[in-house]
Amino acid sequence: MSTVPERGEIDQQYKWSLDSIYATDEDWEAAFERVSERVEELAAYEGRTTESAETLLELLELYEEVSREASQVVSYARMRSHEDTRDQEYQAMSGRAQTLSSELSSAGSFVEPELQELDESDVEAFVEAEPALAEYEHFFDDTLRMKPHTRSAEVEELLADLSEVTGSPGDIYNMLSNADLTFPTVEKPDGEAVEISQGNFTKLQKHPNREFRKEVYEQFHGEWDAVHNTVGTTLKNSIKSDVKLARARNYDTARESALDGPNVPVEVYDTLLETVRDNLDRLHRHAELKREALDVDELRMWDLYMSLTGDEGPEVSYEEAKDHIVEAVAPLGEEYQSRLAEGLEDRWVDVYENRGKRAGAYSGGTYDTQPFIMMNYQDDIASMFTLAHELGHSMHSLLASEEQPWIDYQYDIFVAEVASTVNETLLTHHLLETVEDPEFRAHVLDEYLERVRSTLYRQTMFADFELQIHQRAEDGEPLTPATFDEIYGGLKADYYEPAETDDLIAKEWMRIPHFYYNYYVYQYSTGISAAVSIVQRILDEGEPAAADYREALQTGGGKYPLETLETAGVDMTSPEPIEDALATYGDYLDEMADLMDLDPN
């Protein structure tokens, strides 16, 4: 019987090195106490932020010192809690860290409102009087830009204090989905029993036996259906929090508020939805090719993850994946390549799934730590691409931390999803150019098509869903689980028109954690579009384009996202990058149809 192992059964070399942050939990406790004490020091500056240039610099330096150590306290506790969500000690530690973070935000909430009492000429005079303040130029600009949406110091402190409460729907959802919700064990056609999990569901949906895929699909979604009302309530309250917080800051909509943070016009969001909607014919064609490859009369929801090659695909060990990825990023320069390779050997990555481990994958860490990557590696091509994706994030963080001061280190998600997808796209090109085995090549090509389907099309569908449910809340309409089903089911039917939808797929929104992130998902779609443009430029122009891209990574948060992408040669205010990415997807569909001798029409 194939079961998910306990964490203690996994070899140490495949676990991330969190002891590089704190050698022991006792060291973490000491750091927690230090931060707790220093948070109180900020209070002495309230009402004095703009007293003088010297006072402002003292305050900003103090806030940085406390924030940098606090971020390590929070990051360590968060990652420990994700290793096994059943471990109540680490869950409590993470909860304490989140409370501390909230207290820090509250304690420093007076800074921006008081800074906004200044105008640009005042800031220029302060910088002239205290040149060290020049380091905060972008921070000052961003703070003054947000003046119309920043409330009084008293209100800002209240909003900061409420952050734990407003974020609780997502916390509840994560505990339900990762710790409390369990899934049945099913029997494979060969008689092997396998426990369904969040981590292996997609892989099981690629099994060549259609009846087995159907059983997994129904069993998995059936468990979600049993908590339909609970998850519907958490999502409803999350959406309401988004709307109320946006209105508290004088925004008309939650979307306007979310996109204004990184200074992205809402027109970029609208352009994405419209451009993808106008090109659904390519996605429909992909679905038809799947139907033909599977030789079925009707494509069903348990067929969507199936490879056009008709089987699960070759195994790719973690060691093999590392080698492929290191070779693939060579066009980004020798230093980028060597540092990525070193990270893979220095235990950046928590590789394999274990019982209770948080589902999915992400890149973490802080300004003062090495990068850390959580994986649930499944020995397949998809996992290799996910590893490449997260390494893109990690290298972005590493380069930004080395080139930018702390205040400008943290980049926006809008840019982050470009860095991750550049690595995926380079991996695709590398494998198609170097791997001779026809079966492997077919699976690589299929994986890229699936990445575009799931990243550009599917995430845009998610973005459309997110927009519609927020609009309902903003119009004062009730949000119920049935409402979510209706909206999501309609979108699924539009996007996958050649396939037959069902009542279970209408509830798929229940298993998507990103709906608790307040207009997050659209950035996957814009990210892959920008990445395709950047990679094509690098492959066409070589080192000069690669240097521009590395400069964009090194910029971190020192510029607004659209400006950063301009450095790399991409204009995301135009539909052109999206159209180019979709055209590439269409070209690969043609190539795959020829390779597999499928009808391209």
Q: What is the DSSP string of 88-126?
A: HHHHHHHHHHHHHHHHHHHHTTTHHHHHTTS-HHHHHHH
Query: In this structure, what are the phi and psi dihedrals at residue 7, rounded to the nearest 5 degrees?
Result: -60, -35
List the one residue out of 115, 125, 123 whose CA is nearest residue 146. 115
Q: What is the DSSP string of 538-554?
A: HHHH-HHHHHHHHHHHH
Q: What is the DSSP string of 455-473?
A: IIIHHHHHHHHHHHHHHHH
What are the residues whose beta carbons fall under 8 Å from the beta carbon of 220, sequence distance 6 or more?
183, 196, 201
Q: Within 13 Å, how many C-alpha atoms sit on residue 563's CB side?
A: 10
Q: How far apart are CA 400 and CA 421, in angstroms?
A: 17
In this structure, are residues 383 and 314 in contact, taking their beta carbons and an 8 Å threshold?
Answer: no
390 given a catalytic annotation: yes
Angle among Cα 84, 324, 512 to the nearest 5 degrees reads 40
Q: How far apart are CA 264 and CA 463, in angstroms?
A: 15
What the block records as the tokens of 170 is 């997502």
Q: What is the DSSP string of 472-501?
A: HHHTT----HHHHHHHHHHHHHHHTTTEEP
136, 143, 144, 483, 528 from 148: Cα distances, Å? 20, 10, 9, 34, 32
Q: How far apart are CA 212 and CA 23, in angstroms?
A: 46
53, 200, 382, 385, 575 from 217: Cα distances, Å? 62, 12, 19, 24, 36
From the list 390, 450, 466, 508, the catalytic residue is 390
Active centre residues (catalytic): 390
